Structure 1
Amino acid sequence: MTARRTAARAGALLVLLATAACGVPTGGDPEAIPATEVPYGLALPSPGATAAPTSPAGLGEPRVYLVAGDGALVPQGRAASAGTLAERLATLLADLATGPTPAELTERLSTALRPETSLSVAGVSGSTATIDLGGSAEAPSGRESKTAVAQIVLTATSLPGVDQVLVTRDGEQVEAPLPSGELTARPLTAADYAPLTVAAPPS
């Protein structure tokens, strides 16, 4: 429920309580209330409901993927930066490495990336970006590893011009885990990690 709709309902409830307290009869034909007696704003047309923004507002808007409370990866829009494709990708990856914003934390969004992890663009060839994982943190393992790689791939490929991702660690290409648990050294795509954008069934 949006704040605007909540305010409208609260205002309507106040009007109802006020008329009940004044002893307005509940029977008989309805009577029109003069516009001058209607609290400000209640006589205006009510706008349609809008959901809280948890995904990009427009096609092509860069976004980072974070982990929701149910385990699914969800997109969060980020401001588009200027510069070359590699520069824009570097900015987007920096946003991902920083983690959820304070507002996103209140929505119980998190990340599988360790705080000490750094993400840098090692190169862009055609539509394939090579992303290097650095920092002092140990590489995550198990499901956390798949989730972290999925966040990187889905975030990078949300940028127009990037269709595939190669992952390296300190400059050395690594085999990345797929949702099935299989390891692969081939370029990764958003389709590879689409299953992780759906909530995992309860164990």
Structure 2
Amino acid sequence: MSARRTAGSTALAVSLLLTSACGVPTGGEPETIASTDIPYGLASTTPTSAPAPPPAARSNEPRIYLVTAEGVLVPRGRTSGDGSLEQRLTRLLAGLAAGPTSGERGDQLTSALPPEVRLSLTTIEGGTATIDISAPENAPSGRESRQAVGQVVLTATSLPGIEGVVLTRDGGPVEAPLLSGELTTAPLTAEDYDALLTSPPS
């Protein structure tokens, strides 16, 4: 009887030990869990998804270039329709001259080109488009003039088949400002103004 009672007591003690080892502790001081022991993402204080930015132009569609509040140029898609290269570029330049849409103005996008500007395609020869600018006397100067020229050149060269731009004003040659401040009448390329896509002109 004594041996049977001892064996039962031992089995009960082992059972209690295992139960207490697997249970949830009800007391004691709180312990800090190492960040490496926390499942991925549970300790993050940032939201898992950020708000989507305003839609930019797709790389395979015609686009105009507008100016952000920080002075950087950004592309926005436009429809140039069907037809010849001359017709499509004419429509694209008209879209640039019209400036940002109401939605784009809500995104704080503007244009360095004056509201009354007219951009007229004169010719396209060997991939170089000659574009005539007709603007009021208070045309942009300094930093804004470089942004304005960059808008025209980047917009025109977004169309496949246009590799360079020559600017005229009311039919006469224009010395266009490069980002360095140098003036030139040579054909302008997208590479001349690519820096405006990441920082404003100094």
TM-score between the two structures when normalised by the length of structure 1:
0.71
Aligned to 1:149: 149
Task: Compute the displacement of 1:197 (Å).
Answer: 0.9
CA distance in 2, matches of 1:126, 1:50: 44
Aligned to 1:185: 185
Per-residue Cα deviation, 1:105-129 (whole angstroms, up to 9, x for no partner): 0000000000111001011002100
Moved over 4 A (4+): none
Per-residue Cα deviation, 1:68-102 (whole angstroms, up to 9, x for no partner): 01110000011231111111001000000000000
Aligned to 2:134: 134
8 A Cα contact 2:80 2:89, kept in partner? no
8 A Cα contact 2:130 2:168, kept in partner? yes
CA distance in 2, matches of 1:126, 1:53: 35
Aligned to 2:96: 96
Per-residue Cα deviation, 1:145-202 (whole angstroms, up to 9, x for no partner): 101000000000001110100000001111100011110111000000011111339x
Per-residue Cα deviation, 1:3-50 (whole angstroms, up to 9, x for no partner): xxxxxxxxxxxxxxxxxxxxxxxxxxxxxxxxxxxxxxxxxxxxx878
Aligned to 1:107: 107
8 A Cα contact 1:116 1:137, kept in partner? no
Larger radius of gyration: 2
Name structure 2 gaps, 5 residues minimum: 1-48
Task: Compute the displacement of 1:138 (Å).
Answer: 3.4
Once the two structures are superposed, the pairs formed by residues 38-53 of structure 1 within 5 Å of their partners are 51-53=52-54
CA distance in 2, matches of 1:90, 1:170: 17
Aligned to 1:116: 116
The alignment's C-alpha RMSD in Å is 1.9
CA distance in 2, matches of 1:189, 1:74: 17
Look up the equivalent residue of 2:83 and give its one-letter code: G
Aligned to 2:56: 55
CA distance in 1, matches of 2:131, 2:51: 36
* Number of residue-to-residue matches in the alignment: 154
8 A Cα contact 2:132 2:169, kept in partner? yes
8 A Cα contact 2:54 2:107, kept in partner? no
Partner-residue secondary structure (3-state), 1:79: coil
CA distance in 1, matches of 2:200, 2:145: 15
Partner-residue secondary structure (3-state), 2:161: coil
8 A Cα contact 1:120 1:131, kept in partner? yes
CA distance in 2, matches of 1:60, 1:80: 12
Aligned to 2:174: 174
CA distance in 2, matches of 1:178, 1:135: 19
Q: Are residues 1:199 and 2:199 paired?
A: yes
TM-score between the two structures when normalised by the length of structure 2:
0.71
CA distance in 1, matches of 2:134, 2:69: 27
Look up the equivalent residue of 1:171 and give its one-letter code: G
